[in-house]
């Protein structure tokens, strides 16, 4: 079975019941809206509000759409695996989903300087952290790309878990 047929089989298996369609749709809508509001935060000084929507670029909308789409497949797959009695490995999903948000939040908000100041109080000789915010601001597209790669990896691992699940009855021909 090649990867395309594995992906198809896992998607058919996951979305055979209406409740998994609903989980996927709700996940997509909520996460897509969250990404649309948070991703442009680097352009608004770290503020998170509906006014951020006016700062959206086509690149940010594309990242938001693809990342929300992947999460809307991964989350129902993990629910279906749990319902089948299997353990799920959702660390990649969590890391990918959150890292897509962190780049924008840490770039231009007060969060990172506050963390650095706290660390500096504890460890006064730590100076290498002072350029972290600039690095994040400069490399935000790369951070989003890495987040996307983590989500793709998490998706492929979810597909692999479903295909190799002993309790899941996968139909190879659809």
CA distance 145 to 75: 20
CA distance 151 to 163: 18
Helix axis angle, 18-38 relative to 58-83, nearest 10°?
A: 150
Contact 79, 27 (CB under 8 A): no
- Is residue 72 assigned to a domain? yes
- Is residue 107 assigned to a domain? yes
- Is residue 67 assigned to a domain? yes
Q: Write down the pLDDT at residue 107.
A: 44
Domain interval for residue 149: 3-163
Q: How many domains does the chain have?
A: 1
- Is residue 169 assigned to a domain? no
What's the pTM? 0.74
Q: Write down the pLDDT at residue 84.
A: 83
- Is residue 171 assigned to a domain? no
Q: Write down the pLDDT at residue 24.
A: 94
Q: Write down the pLDDT at residue 150.
A: 81
- Is residue 168 assigned to a domain? no
- Is residue 174 assigned to a domain? no
Q: Write down the pLDDT at residue 155.
A: 87
Q: Write down the pLDDT at residue 153.
A: 85
- Is residue 97 assigned to a domain? yes
Dihedral sign, CA of 111, 58, 31, 139?
A: negative
| 3-class secondary structure per residue, the chain | CCHHHHHHHHHHHHCCCHHHHHHHHHHHHHHHHHHHHHHHHHHCCCCCCHHHHHHCCHHHHHHHHHHHHHHHHHHHHHHHHHHCCCCCCCHHHHHHHHHHHHHHHHHHCCHHHHHHHHHHHHCCCCCHHHHHHHHHHHCHHHHHHHHHHHHHHHHHHHHHHHHCCCCCCCCCCC
List the pLDDT tens digit at each of the 174 positions of the chain. 788 999 999 999 999 999 999 999 999 999 898 888 887 877 766 667 788 788 888 988 998 899 889 889 988 998 888 888 877 666 655 665 565 555 555 444 444 444 555 555 555 555 554 555 556 666 677 777 877 888 888 888 889 888 888 877 776 554
Q: Write down the pLDDT at residue 108.
A: 43
Query: CB neighbours (10 Å) of residue 20?
Result: 18
């Amino acid at each position: 079975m090649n990867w395309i047929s594995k992906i198809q089989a896992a998607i058919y298996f996951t979305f055979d019941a209406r409740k998994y369609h609903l989980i996927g749709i709700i996940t997509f809508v909520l996460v897509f809206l969250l990404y649309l509001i948070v991703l442009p935060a680097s352009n608004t000084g770290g503020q998170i509000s509906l006014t951020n929507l006016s700062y959206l670029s086509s690149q940010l909308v594309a990242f938001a759409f693809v990342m929300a789409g992947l999460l809307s497949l991964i989350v129902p797959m993990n629910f279906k695996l749990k319902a089948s009695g299997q353990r799920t490995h959702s660390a990649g999903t969590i890391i990918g989903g959150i890292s897509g948000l962190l780049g924008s939040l840490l770039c231009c908000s007060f969060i990172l300087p506050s963390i650095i100041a706290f660390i500096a109080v504890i460890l006064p000789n730590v100076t290498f952290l002072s350029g972290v915010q600039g690095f994040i601001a400069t490399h935000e597209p790369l951070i989003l790309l890495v987040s996307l790669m983590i989500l793709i990896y998490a998706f492929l691992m979810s597909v692999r878990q479903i295909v190799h699940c002993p309790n899941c009855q996968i139909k190879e021909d659809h």
